[in-house]
A and B are shown apart, each in its own frame.
Chain A
Amino acid sequence: MASTETAELRQAVATLVPSGSDGEPVPYVHIESSQGWVSLKLRELWVYRELLYFLIWRDVKVRYKQTVLGMAWAIIEPFLTMVVFSVFFGKLGKIPSDGIPYPIFSYAALVPWTFFSRGLTQASNSLVGSARLIKKIYFPRLAMPIATVLAGIVDFMLAFLVLVGMMLAYGIKPTIQVLWLPLFLLLALVTALGTGLWLSAMNVQFRDVRYTVPFITQFWMFATPIAYPSSLLSEPWRTLYGINPMAGVVEGFRWTLLGTETKPGPIIVVSCLAALALLVSGAFYFRRMERTFADIV
């Protein structure tokens, strides 16, 4: 008797408050085997935005734990590369640098490049590195590579401060074009994420990817006008060079910050299109492979 009463009471409460605590309607999920290409479910990603925030926060917090130099690592890599490039390519190789002192010419490219290459490397390993999480809990898997790439922005900021310091030292004043800078950071982010989505999803199935990523970043670095200017190429090749989206990013950084007079507009347009294609295809490929992640990771 008592139990039926509580059941009725419970039902009454249930009709008053349609769901647990926050008054949202009771969620309904239909589970079935999915076939072929599936939607990106970006709305669900938005629902999980707090998790995304915590994953980024975790990556940032943990990145330099138990290291002696800590955050300095964010600066050391691009800075030392710049020193090496300046000595070998700038001084010895006499490579032109669009009329800008070679050290700052290369460093302005290395800052977004380092952000990109680290983002790409870490995104590629993000799923395999979180295998336990993927096997034991559900969340939109897209959150994983996105969080690792976004967490790299903190490192980028630190390396960028050094760039600002160098600009002051060389007496280079940015022009109004600097307002375009966020666009180029976004372009680097989209490129890193697009590639990261492809590679992270492949890495789940083929661990070969882990061994390939260092090659990819190395080749890509030389295929990007970091140590040399893209103005070495003649048209239309220079514009086509934009198919490598990082070419657009690097030229964009130089144009906005250092005021290079090389009119990188066409490169940048091509780069934006290429990056977008990379992101969209990467996202769909990732979603398509996602259904097997928990079983084979």
Chain B
Amino acid sequence: MSDIAIHLENLSKQYHIGKKQEKYRTLRDTLTEAFAAPFRRAGNLLRGQAAGAADLEETIWALRDVSLEIKQGEVVGIIGRNGAGKSTLLKILSRITEPTCGSADIYGRVGSLLEVGTGFHDELTGRENVYLNGAILGMKRAEIDRKFDEIVAFSEVEKFIDTPVKHYSSGMYLRLAFAVAAHLEPEILLVDEVLAVGDARFQKKCLDKMEDVGQQGRTVLFVSHNMPAITRLCGRAILLDGGGVVEDGPSQQVVGVYLTSDTSTMSLREWPDPQKAPGGEVARLRVVRVRSEEGRIIEVADIRQPFTVEMEYEVLRSGYVLLPHFYFWNQEGVCVFGTLDLDPAWRGRPRPAGRYVSAVHIPANLLSDGMMFVNAALLTQAPSILQFWERSVVAFQVIETFDDDSARGDFTGQIGGVVRPLLQWSTKFSPDGDEAISG
């Protein structure tokens, strides 16, 4: 048995997209077209042309010449912008759709999770849906019987398992659906952005479960926009763009490339076009950046140096009390801390329209080493409305030095932890060991 799980060779997929509708100038044109179209289509059909092919002239390559090899037991993250071909790749590998050309060889039973709750039927009870959904995902009946209690326990909906799922809250529904999916045990698992379900606590549970799957030696292909999750779960990542592979390598490196791909640096993100900037009628986010004390944009922060993370935003409507936030996530997918703007100058005060920069000063010796991802959010208060919330908007690397003035002193081993504060220690010495030295 070779150790290859998936081998792709020049895999390509072309989609027909509808020709752009010509604008009808007059009502007469519209009516003529409406009458003529069925005859034209029927004519095309009789002449043996494929389904209205004349109407489907424009094509796009969703995937173009992708050649890859994935080894057994590898956990691979697939990242890229919307429309980069990530989902198409998973659809081909799970045999939902055929490639236009090229080929894929897959060694092992494939389980695919392209959506949570596929095939759930509202009228059926939770119990019935577990069986139905399990069968649809490819589980044997005996296998579902065996895992049933575990699935229900994981979903935390024990009390309602005999209630039709149409009476479930959306959270319960998703939890049950994920629970079934999480107990699928194929050799190769294809997962498309399904972890974004439920509350934060359940999301963490899902991530942990995914990690277990990876550690059981299964091959996993994981599509996500959640960069901390990618760096935590996947050793390797593949960046797709325009249907092709742009970067393939260790996940931290590839994530770095992805985050810097539309600006020159991952620690600066700008929206020059106000129409495309995150936000709405009240406020829009324009710039987020990470800066050193001296004001330079930095991608790498020395663990011993303070630095600043700031967001520049435009307030378009006066009179709102604003609350900017930052959340810092590490590469393990752990939220290290969240922080809110407490500047007394604006706290609780409605703001006039205009441009603002809110900066948070991160002290030296706070974060532990590694990659950090920042979410930027803006809330208007009373009532609380989220104006924008951008995930992984900027990222930076915290590095340690081995000079002895950091929290590690002259220790050179692994320390770990999510923070690395420089704390005061004191050590007392008692030569006989029997004297009380406390106090």
Contacts and interface: CB of A to CB of B under 8 A. Distances in A.
Contacts of A18: 1
B94 interface: yes
Contacts of B106: 28-31
A61 B128 contact: yes
B355 interface: no
Interface in A250-297: 291, 294-296
B51 interface: yes
A62 B124 contact: yes
A36 interface: no
B278 interface: no
Interface string A8-23: 0011001100111100
Interface in B88-124: 91-110, 112, 114-115, 118-119, 121, 123-124
A291 to B, nearest CB: 5
Interface residues of B, number: 46
Contact of B73 (A10, A20, A21, A134): A10
Contact of A135 (B15, B96, B103, B108): B96
Contacts of A138: 94-96, 112
Contacts of B101: 33
Contact of A31 (B3, B93, B109, B186): B93
Chain B CB within 10 A, most for which of A50, A135, A136, A139: A136
Given A26-B1, A135-B96, A136-B115, A62 B136 contact: no
Chain A interface, >50% SS class: helix
A27 B109 contact: yes
B105 A58 contact: no
Contact of B98 (A27, A33, A54, A62): A33
Contact of A54 (B96, B97, B112, B131): B131
A135 B119 CA distance: 11
Chain B interface, >50% SS class: loop
A279 B303 CA distance: 72
Contacts of B302: none
Given A206-B51, A294-B91, A137 B137 contact: yes
B140 interface: yes
Interface of B: 1, 3, 15, 51, 73, 91-110, 112, 114-115, 118-119, 121, 123-124, 128, 131-132, 135-138, 140-141, 185-187, 217
By Cβ-Cβ distance, the 10 closest A-B pairs, closest first, are A31-B104, A54-B135, A138-B95, A65-B123, A294-B97, A32-B103, A136-B118, A29-B106, A136-B115, A136-B114
7 contacts: A20-B109, A27-B107, A29-B95, A29-B105, A54-B136, A132-B115, A294-B96
Interface of A: 7, 10-11, 14-15, 18-21, 26-34, 50-51, 53-54, 57-58, 61-62, 65-66, 132-139, 205-206, 291, 294-296
Given A7-B73, A29-B105, A33-B99, 11 more contacts: A30-B104, A31-B93, A33-B100, A50-B140, A50-B141, A51-B136, A133-B119, A136-B118, A137-B136, A137-B137, A295-B15
